[in-house]
Amino acid sequence: MTELYIGTTIFILSYIAIVSERIHKTIIAIVGASAMLLFKIMEQREAFFSEEFGIDYNVIFLLIGMMIIINIMKDTGIFEWIAIKSAKFAKGEPIRIMVTLSVVTAFLSAFLDNVTTVLLIAPVTLLICDALEIDPVPFLITEAIASNIGGTATLIGDPPNIMIASKAKLEFMDFIYNLTPIIIIVMVAYIFTIKFMFKKSLTVRPELKARIMEMKESEAITDPTLTRKSLIVLTLTVLGFLFHSQLGFEPATIALSGAGILLLVAGKEPNEILEKIEWTTLFFFMGLFIMVGGVVKIGLIKILAEQALNLTQGNMFATSMLVLWFSAFASAIIDNIPYVATMNPLIIDMAKGLWPNVTDPVALVHTPALMPVWWSLALGACLGGNGTLIGASANVVVAGMSEKAGKKITFMQFTKYGMPLMIESVVICTFYIWIRYYLL
């Protein structure tokens, strides 16, 4: 019993510390994880090697692999090329540029980390807005939101999906079948909404459009050979993801192999590439996994799962809706990574309560009635990030860049656009979950 209290205290204190943002979240995660070990809530062996309670290396290595690939690719200039090409495709017309850049950002985010995507697209956006002499803020906000929407579409698009896929034993194609269609619908609705929101305020003189049309996008490519090599490796990696189950490989194997091949052919110093891996994020994950593992082991999560079951009375439609909407608002306020790390075992414990006769762990997480709950979690946790400025890292990054450009994006200014757009997307998802999984 004391273990339950100590473990719960460590967990709650860490959560409060993470939300308060006084100390860096990675430091808290490492301190919290070591506290779990020091107080013998869990053994080191469990923390490092147990699939049930320990660090989820599927997530860690999938992230490492993708980070290496993107770190090599981002200096080639290919993303700047794509962004400038899009602006020219839009004929320098502001609203069309906003739409094309949002679509491009969403598409890239489906395969790359959201923060990386906005870090690549936002500088070009500032260039284009400067050339057109218009306010970049609406462009930056719509891109951040687009990256969060696009990231939801695939297994590798956003960390919550990677985590859900690992715990629920889901494949890349499961996400393509279940999430990609709805994300396309959400994206179409999003495009219409932003067109409506910003159409009137965005007009420019024709001579300024000429500045865009005169840009030679080919000059953005700094290293044509490496660009070609990395595009080939990225294509192979994406193909690898699409067929990973047929090939009999986990997604992390595909990502790591892609990274290995690209490191081999890129001919760069490994130091140069590996030091740019976001180790801070990875250590945050590792610490978090150990902390969550601790509270799963002591039964806290099981108690919470029982409470949730009492609330929904085992009605799976109600559970899906609760998970979808609760996740959306929770993710708008707190980091969706610790949230999903906690929700994953909670859903598994809930499944254990609902179907005590299913002993096979894979069969349990794949119980047909449970599937919509996983999709609701993914949609809620990823799309919820759009609700406020602090809901997703991509939002914080564009706000930082905007401030540097002399245009501060306030919390309220972001929320004014983000919250309605988030609610719109979650309403669409509500209908999707209801029609696809409960009506048909």
Partner 1 sequence: MKAADIMTKEFDTVLPSSTIKEAVSLLRCAKRGEDIKGVNALMVMDESGKLVGLITMSHILKAIIPFYMEMAHLSEFAWEGLFERMCHKVQDRKVSELMERKVITVDPDANIFEISELMLKSRVRRLPVVEKDKVIGIVYRKELFFKIVDTMLDKEGCR
For residue 10, the surrounding DSSP H or E stretch is: helix 2-20
**Interacting residue with partner 1 among 131, 182, 337, 350 (CB under 8 A):** 131
Q: How far is the CB of 383 from partner 1 (least distance, A)?
A: 28
The one among 214, 228, 231, 272 contacting partner 1 by CB under 8 A: 214
Closest by alpha carbon to 397, among 114, 84, 76, 82? 114
Q: How many CA atoms lie within 13 A of 99 on its CB side?
A: 21
Is 144 a residue that touches partner 1 (CB under 8 A)? Answer: no
Residue 404 touching partner 1 (CB under 8 A): yes
Q: How far is the CB of 100 from partner 1 (least distance, A)?
A: 17
Q: Which stretch binds partner 1 (CB under 8 A): 94-102, 178-186, 207-215, 291-299?
A: 207-215
Examine residue 138 and tell whether it contacts partner 1 (CB under 8 A): no
Interaction between residue 122 and partner 1 (CB under 8 A) = yes
80 or 158: CB nearest partner 1: 80
Smallest distance from the beta carbon of 92 to partner 1, in angstroms?
12
Residue 124 engages partner 1 in binding (rule: CB under 8 A):
yes
Residue 220 in contact with partner 1, rule: CB under 8 A: yes
Q: Kindly tell me which of 142 and 430 has the beta carbon lying closer to partner 1.
A: 142
End-to-end Cα spacing for the chain: 46
The verdict on 120 binding partner 1 (CB under 8 A) reads yes
Residue 59 CB contacts under 8 Å (≥ 6 apart), including other chains: 159, 162, 163, 166, 252, 285, 289
Specify whether the CB–CB gap between 251 and 156 falls below 8 A: yes
Q: What's 440's DSSP letter?
A: -
Tokens 């080939």, located at residue = 232
Give the whole-angstrom CA distance, residue 15 versus residue 29: 9
> In 337-354, which positions are buried (b, 16+ CB within 10 angstroms) versus exposed (e)?
bbbbbbbbbbbbbbbbeb
Sole binder of partner 1 in the list 52, 130, 272, 275 (CB under 8 A):
130
Q: Which of 254, 286, 378, 395 is nearest to 37 (CA)?
A: 286
Residue 401 as a binder of partner 1 (CB under 8 A): the answer is yes
User: How big is the site for partner 1, counted in residues (CB under 8 A)?
Assistant: 21
Which residues of the chain form contacts with partner 1 (CB under 8 A)? 77, 80, 84, 120, 122-124, 126-127, 130-131, 211, 214-216, 219-220, 222, 401, 404-405
